Amino acid sequence: MDIKKRIIVKGNVQLVGFRSFIKKIAMNLGIKGSVKNLPDGTVEIYCECEENIYEEFKKIIMEKKADPKDIIKPNVIEIDDKYDENWEKFDNSRIQEYFFINYDDLDIQKELLERTEVGILSMNNMNENINNRFDTLTIKYGDFGECMVRLEKNIEEMNETFKKLTAHFIKDDDK
């Protein structure tokens, strides 16, 4: 049996590609509905699907966690899903035959916004892949990560020494 829900997602969920992420997941799960940024920094999702699909959807959304200090990745803190189709303000027009991002009446082109959000998601995924590869190299080659940290520290020390040496020669030339 299909259920209809209005969900409010709290956290770092605006300007990080979160709406495109939600749209992609919803379309993959066959969910009807929409997603929209709200003025208070939250994201509103209307959805219609079977209850077991909804629970899976909600679980995927809650798993979108990041370091709270990382401002370019979505970080879901809380989901408020107490509103269903019996709620007096439930807006059935937010649910159509396909899942869409609701931009309201913005002056900029919808397609440009969608592509920008997809670009943000792609960059986030690329960053995660790079971090995962370094973790894999550390596991495969032992102390790789520690070696890279030592190398970085040595380069910084060499840079400082070079600056001091250069400053010393400049002082000698001034005499």
Q: Which residues are catalytic?
A: 19, 37
Number of neighbours of residue 123 by Cβ within 10 angstroms? 13
Phi, psi of 108 (to 5 degrees): -85, 160
Nearest to 125 by CA among 32, 20, 14, 10: 20
Please give the Cα distance from 47 to 105 (Å, whole number): 21
**Token pair listed for 51:** 């209850």
